[in-house]
Chains A and B, each alone.
Chain A
């Protein structure tokens, strides 16, 4: 499983004095779906362009499928399918012609192209519209055609830049399921960039959070939330049918279960913070004591919370940075 297919080492890209990507190190293994998360302008697209050799890094190296993207982009592009965020087609050609043109550019033998293009169109569910001009295509259909573009070259790696942008919720769901299916069936490595947390959460094995050119954290969603909310531990909220008296008689007994940090009683609800996940033990305890349990809710941290937490940290950091900069300037001008 640990077979790196994309390796970024010390990758930086500067536009003038602005650092779009700053000392990025990232490894993506074969067969996984990796989500690159970050707000707009975080440097996601720049990173992807550097992976494809469409822009040159200021420093650092990119290795994709064992080739250096900067010095040998053709070999990389043979293995990698890329779907840009605003995918465009030649409007004077039909969808199938557009697709066949890409197939020809990839040097596919003439006699295979037509059958393969039609097969790919079926795969992405556009077989009924393939003879329409692309100017008549809706946004969602264009995204699908973009995916067909990527798939027809039978890549090892798929890079999708904001693939869910501008599609309606039902379309997004279908699209993500399609990507996940393809990845599992064909063992493809998928790199997905997005600022939509929920979409990424649905499909990705691993995510990296990317803010102002830096990879803040990477890992799967569970470990991320574990890292982040460790201090708060696990919280379970249990609602009972009847209200409890304020100094609760069984509080000490519940504390005695061990691993419990704090117990809070509020009318008919009990909130227990623990160092480990104690939910089954707590429920068993309450049942034994004869309470009627209406609901049990274990607090889980989704990407939203993770995202929020990281961005909050980051924005405060920015403010302090700015302050120090302006201070610096002031003292400089005084001289």
Chain B
């Protein structure tokens, strides 16, 4: 009996070794290797350190402002959202600085652009692109690794910030967090990641298209500034020039024109992002467009459940996702059959 036990022990050990060995021998896939390298590069680069500091500082500043005003916000019973302490933490402000999600709507692009603007062209200029592509790896793996690497870093950053904020809030106030708040804040994190992902893929597209890193950075920043600063002005100008005098229109016409204007404004990705985050972080927001008195008539000013909020911003989410995918598809189209020469 004893010997049999010993035999079994022996057998199981053998099995373990047999299981362990192929694990050791299986090489990591080239894609994984590339993603690992991208992440390591980002983390070690000064560029990323600067961006982290920038974003952390804005986060701390907006948290500080919201924490000092949180008491008033929570006690304001006229506001249907006053029960959501953690959402209030993210959105309350005394108008000295904008809340964190508004900050992110213009800092997010900078983060995405900074991580992607020299993804392909710097490799091409330093001669490493030929070297990498002479190895048995698929070309799309390289593009995807650049994107995924950047996205992993960004995701880690935002998830950490959001969790830190919730943990900090728990410690400071001792108020229990509602499941709905947790879901909303996580959704906010996800949308932020998607938003930065869009700018990252745009920046990678520029880096595929332009040989000089400076050109691609400037073009991407140009697009960013156009959408954050000029786009609204341009739309306003055009609207004023073309639309008839509102005094001569009936109400239905005004509403339809308003819808058109809003939809034109929503071409800008930062508009989509602001719409989506505002709706998610303020549960009482019921619609992103104008609402008629008849529609408002029976409504109780109460927060919407998470699912309803999500339904409202679903078009915004799809829009952001579609824009990201479009940029990325264009990258593929430009890069896949291109001649690789340093």
> Which A residues have a C-beta under 8 Å from some C-beta of B?
45, 49, 52, 54-56, 74-75, 77-78, 80-82, 84-92, 101-102, 104-111, 146, 149, 153
Q: When chains A and B are docked, how far (Å) is the Cα of A56 from the Cα of B336? A: 11
Q: Which residue of B25, B30, B127, B341 contacts A105 across the interface (Cβ within 8 Å)?
A: B30
Q: Contacts A78-B136, A92-B41, A101-B37: A107 and B29 contacting too (C-beta < 8 A)?
A: yes
A-contacting residues, B319-342, CB 8 Å: 337, 339-342
Most buried by A among B127, B136, B337: B136
B53 cross-chain contacts in A, Cβ below 8 A: none
Nearest B residue (CB) for A149: B131
Q: Which residue of A49, A104, A108 contacts B340 across the interface (Cβ within 8 Å)?
A: A49
A-contacting residues, B22-63, CB 8 Å: 24-30, 33-34, 37, 41, 44
Q: B128 an interface residue at 8 Å Cβ cutoff?
A: yes
B130 cross-chain contacts in A, Cβ below 8 A: 54, 82, 84, 88
Q: When chains A and B are docked, how far (Å) is the Cα of A90 from the Cα of B41? A: 10
* Contact yes or no, B339 A105, CB < 8 A: no
A84 to B: closest C-beta gap in Å: 4
* Contact yes or no, B33 A84, CB < 8 A: no
Q: B218 an interface residue at 8 Å Cβ cutoff?
A: no
* Contact yes or no, B342 A74, CB < 8 A: no
Nearest B residue (CB) for A15: B339
Q: B249 an interface residue at 8 Å Cβ cutoff?
A: no
19 additional A-B residue pairs with CB within 8 Å, beyond A55-B339, A102-B131: A45-B341, A49-B340, A49-B341, A54-B339, A55-B341, A56-B337, A77-B136, A80-B134, A84-B127, A84-B131, A86-B127, A88-B127, A102-B135, A104-B33, A105-B135, A106-B135, A106-B136, A109-B26, A146-B131
Q: When chains A and B are docked, how far (Å) is the Cα of A66 from the Cα of B3? A: 56
Provide 16 A-B residue pairs closer than 8 Å at the C-beta atoms, listed in order of the A residue. A49-B341, A52-B134, A54-B134, A74-B137, A77-B136, A88-B342, A89-B126, A104-B30, A105-B34, A105-B136, A106-B135, A107-B29, A107-B136, A110-B24, A110-B27, A146-B131
Q: B11 an interface residue at 8 Å Cβ cutoff?
A: no
Nearest B residue (CB) for A87: B127
A140 to B: closest C-beta gap in Å: 16
Most buried by B among A84, A91, A146: A84
Nearest B residue (CB) for A91: B126
Q: When chains A and B are docked, how far (Å) is the Cα of A55 from the Cα of B336? A: 10
Q: When chains A and B are docked, how far (Å) is the Cα of A104 from the Cα of B35? A: 12
Q: When chains A and B are docked, how far (Å) is the Cα of A77 from the Cα of B128? A: 16
Nearest A residue (CB) for B24: A111
B198 to A: closest C-beta gap in Å: 28
B138 cross-chain contacts in A, Cβ below 8 A: 74
Q: Which residue of A52, A92, A108 contacts B44 across the interface (Cβ within 8 Å)?
A: A92
Q: B183 an interface residue at 8 Å Cβ cutoff?
A: no
A110 cross-chain contacts in B, Cβ below 8 A: 24, 27-28
* Contact yes or no, B26 A105, CB < 8 A: no
Q: Contacts A56-B337, A104-B27, A105-B135: A88 and B44 contacting too (C-beta < 8 A)?
A: no
* Contact yes or no, B128 A90, CB < 8 A: yes
Q: When chains A and B are docked, how far (Å) is the Cα of A89 from the Cα of B337? A: 24
Number of A-B contacts (CB under 8 A): 89
Q: B132 an interface residue at 8 Å Cβ cutoff?
A: yes
Which bucket holds chain B's interface residue count? 20 to 34
Contact with A along B206-228 (1 / 0, CB 8 A): 00000000000000000000000
Q: When chains A and B are docked, how far (Å) is the Cα of A105 from the Cα of B41? A: 16
* Contact yes or no, B131 A74, CB < 8 A: no
A57 to B: closest C-beta gap in Å: 11
Q: B261 an interface residue at 8 Å Cβ cutoff?
A: no
* Contact yes or no, A74 B28, CB < 8 A: no
Nearest B residue (CB) for A102: B135
Q: When chains A and B are docked, how far (Å) is the Cα of A300 from the Cα of B324? A: 66
Q: When chains A and B are docked, how far (Å) is the Cα of A84 from the Cα of B127? A: 8
Q: B133 an interface residue at 8 Å Cβ cutoff?
A: yes
* Contact yes or no, B24 A87, CB < 8 A: no
* Contact yes or no, B339 A107, CB < 8 A: no
Q: When chains A and B are docked, how far (Å) is the Cα of A221 from the Cα of B24? A: 50
B234 to A: closest C-beta gap in Å: 38
B136 cross-chain contacts in A, Cβ below 8 A: 74-75, 77-78, 105-107
Q: When chains A and B are docked, how far (Å) is the Cα of A109 from the Cα of B26? A: 6
Q: When chains A and B are docked, how far (Å) is the Cα of A110 from the Cα of B341? A: 30
* Contact yes or no, A107 B128, CB < 8 A: no
Q: When chains A and B are docked, how far (Å) is the Cα of A29 from the Cα of B326? A: 46
B131 cross-chain contacts in A, Cβ below 8 A: 84, 87-89, 102, 146, 149
Q: When chains A and B are docked, how far (Å) is the Cα of A146 from the Cα of B340? A: 18
Q: Which residue of B127, B134, B339 contacts A77 across the interface (Cβ within 8 Å)?
A: B134
B44 cross-chain contacts in A, Cβ below 8 A: 92
Q: When chains A and B are docked, how far (Å) is the Cα of A146 from the Cα of B130? A: 12
Q: Contacts A74-B138, A84-B127, A87-B127: A104 and B24 contacting too (C-beta < 8 A)?
A: no
* Contact yes or no, B340 A109, CB < 8 A: no
* Contact yes or no, A77 B342, CB < 8 A: no
A54 cross-chain contacts in B, Cβ below 8 A: 130, 133-134, 339-341
A75 cross-chain contacts in B, Cβ below 8 A: 136
B135 cross-chain contacts in A, Cβ below 8 A: 77, 102, 105-106, 153
A-contacting residues, B100-146, CB 8 Å: 126-128, 130-138
Q: When chains A and B are docked, how far (Å) is the Cα of A153 from the Cα of B41? A: 24
A88 cross-chain contacts in B, Cβ below 8 A: 126-128, 130-131, 342
B37 to A: closest C-beta gap in Å: 6
A56 cross-chain contacts in B, Cβ below 8 A: 337
B340 cross-chain contacts in A, Cβ below 8 A: 49, 54-55
* Contact yes or no, B128 A104, CB < 8 A: no
B37 cross-chain contacts in A, Cβ below 8 A: 101
B339 to A: closest C-beta gap in Å: 4
Nearest B residue (CB) for A56: B337
Q: Contacts A45-B341, A52-B134, A107-B136: A89 and B128 contacting too (C-beta < 8 A)?
A: yes
Q: When chains A and B are docked, how far (Å) is the Cα of A187 from the Cα of B29? A: 29
Q: Contacts A92-B41, A110-B28: A105 and B126 contacting too (C-beta < 8 A)?
A: no
